[in-house]
């Protein structure tokens, strides 16, 4: 298995041939001995394109548990958890990502992670926390906005309005 083969599978899925891409991932997983994280990441991506979020999340969890996870794996797992309507798991994963990024001195995922953490907290009915998380997102990027489950792009203003509306 090589990176070019995985890229080819991603392109196949993006061209609309998602089931074929999934079959190729499954075949690769059967053949691959040893490190399977890259194939699991690719399959999780294809499954998310198919809107099979529970299965995608399962692969994302396997990557996180492998000891080979990087920060992007936490971000994508948390996004997947949100799409699978698992706001509590997303909350935990975003918090873990933010803690790891802080320890490693990174800042790349901070705005999006805080923004989507606020969304998860709003979904959990923790409106005060959601507002504070959104404040952190805006400190990291004053123009922060992110796609939420369903693929709709939300601005910080939209998220703040929804938090306020639900808190009433």
Identify the bridge partners of residue 145 per DSSP, sorted by sequence position: 155
- Distance (Å, whole) CA 147 – CA 13: 20
Identify the bridge partners of residue 146 per DSSP, sorted by sequence position: 154
SS3 category, 13? helix
pTM here is 0.94
pLDDT digits (tens, 9 = 90+) for 6-34: 999 999 999 999 999 999 999 999 998 87
87-168: CATH architecture: Alpha Horseshoe (1.25)
Domain map (residue ranges) of the chain: 1-69, 87-168
The pLDDT value given to residue 1 = 57
Long-range contacts of 20-28 (CB under 8 A, 24+ apart): 21/46, 22/46, 22/47, 22/50, 28/1
| Cα distances (angstroms) measured from residue 87 to each of 20, 25, 27, 81, 120 | 30, 28, 32, 7, 5
pLDDT digits (tens, 9 = 90+) for 131-158: 999 999 999 999 999 999 988 999 999 9
**What is the average pLDDT score of the chain?**
96
């Amino acid at each position: 298995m090589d990176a070019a083969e995985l890229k080819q599978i991603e392109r196949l899925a993006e061209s609309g041939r998602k089931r074929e891409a999934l079959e190729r991932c499954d075949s690769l997983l059967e053949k691959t001995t040893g490190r399977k994280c890259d194939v699991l990441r690719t399959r999780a991506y294809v499954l998310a394109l198919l809107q099979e979020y529970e299965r995608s999340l399962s692969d994302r969890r396997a990557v996180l548990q492998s000891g080979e996870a990087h920060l992007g794996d936490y971000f994508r797992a948390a996004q997947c958890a949100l799409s699978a309507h698992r706001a509590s798991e997303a909350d935990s994963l975003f918090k873990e990502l933010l803690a790891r990024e802080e320890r490693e001195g990174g800042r790349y995922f901070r705005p999006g992670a805080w923004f989507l953490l606020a969304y998860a907290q709003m979904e959990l009915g923790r409106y005060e926390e959601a507002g504070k998380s959104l404040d952190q997102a805006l400190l990291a990027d004053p123009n922060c906005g992110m796609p939420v489950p369903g693929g709709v792009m939300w601005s910080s203003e939209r998220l703040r309005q929804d938090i306020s509306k639900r808190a009433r």
